[in-house]
Amino acid sequence: MYIIESYSLAVVFCLITMLCWGSWANTQKLAGSKWRFELFYWDYVIGIVLLAVIFGFTLGSTGDAGRSFSEDLFQADSKSYTLAFIGGVIFNLANILIVAAIAYAGMSVAFPVGIGLALVLGVVVNYISEQKGDPILLFLGVALVVMAIVMDAFAYKKLAQSKQKSPRIGLILALVGGFLMSFFYFFVAQSMSLDFSQPEGGKFTPYGAVFVFSIGILLSNFVFNTILMKTPIEGKPLMGSDYFKGSPFVHLVGILGGVIWCVGMSFSIIAAEKAGPAISYGLGQGATMVAAFWGVFIWKEFKAAPKSTNVLLGGMFMLFIIGLSLIVYAGA
Q: What percent of the chain has pLDDT over 90?
A: 50
> For residue 16, what are the CA distances in angstroms to 9, 64, 65, 253?
11, 25, 23, 20
Examine the pLDDT at 149 and tell me if it is beyond 60: yes
User: Would you state the pLDDT for residue 302?
Assistant: 81
Cα 146 to Cα 289: distance, rounded to the nearest angstrom: 13
Over residues 104-118, mean pLDDT: 77
Closest CA to 115 of 287, 273, 290: 287
pLDDT confidence band for 165 (50 / 70 / 90): low
pLDDT confidence band for 167 (50 / 70 / 90): low
Over residues 260-264, mean pLDDT: 96
Average pLDDT, the chain: 88
Examine the pLDDT at 164 and tell me if it is beyond 70: no
Q: Could you say which DSSP state residue 52 is in?
A: H
Q: Could you say which DSSP state residue 296 is in?
A: I
Examine the pLDDT at 70 and tell me if it is beyond 90: yes
pLDDT confidence band for 27 (50 / 70 / 90): very high
Examine the pLDDT at 21 and tell me if it is beyond 70: yes
pLDDT confidence band for 226 (50 / 70 / 90): very high
Q: Is residue 315 classed exposed, middle or buried when 0-12, 13-18 and 19+ CB atoms within 10 A define those classes?
A: middle
Phi, psi of 288 (to 5 degrees): -55, -45
User: Would you state the pLDDT for residue 251?
Assistant: 97
Phi, psi of 204 (to 5 degrees): -80, 160
User: Would you state the pLDDT for residue 157?
Assistant: 74
Higher per-residue confidence, 138 vs 278: 138
pLDDT digits (tens, 9 = 90+) for 188-198: 999 999 899 89
pLDDT confidence band for 109 (50 / 70 / 90): confident
pLDDT digits (tens, 9 = 90+) for 235-254: 899 999 999 999 999 999 99
Cα 217 to Cα 229: distance, rounded to the nearest angstrom: 17
The pTM of this model reads: 0.85
User: Would you state the pLDDT for residue 140?
Assistant: 93
Q: Which residues pair with residue 204 across a beta bridge?
A: 192
pLDDT confidence band for 233 (50 / 70 / 90): confident
pLDDT confidence band for 300 (50 / 70 / 90): confident
User: Would you state the pLDDT for residue 82?
Assistant: 98
pLDDT confidence band for 174 (50 / 70 / 90): confident
Higher per-residue confidence, 197 vs 109: 197
Cα 114 to Cα 102: distance, rounded to the nearest angstrom: 10
User: Would you state the pLDDT for residue 179?
Assistant: 92
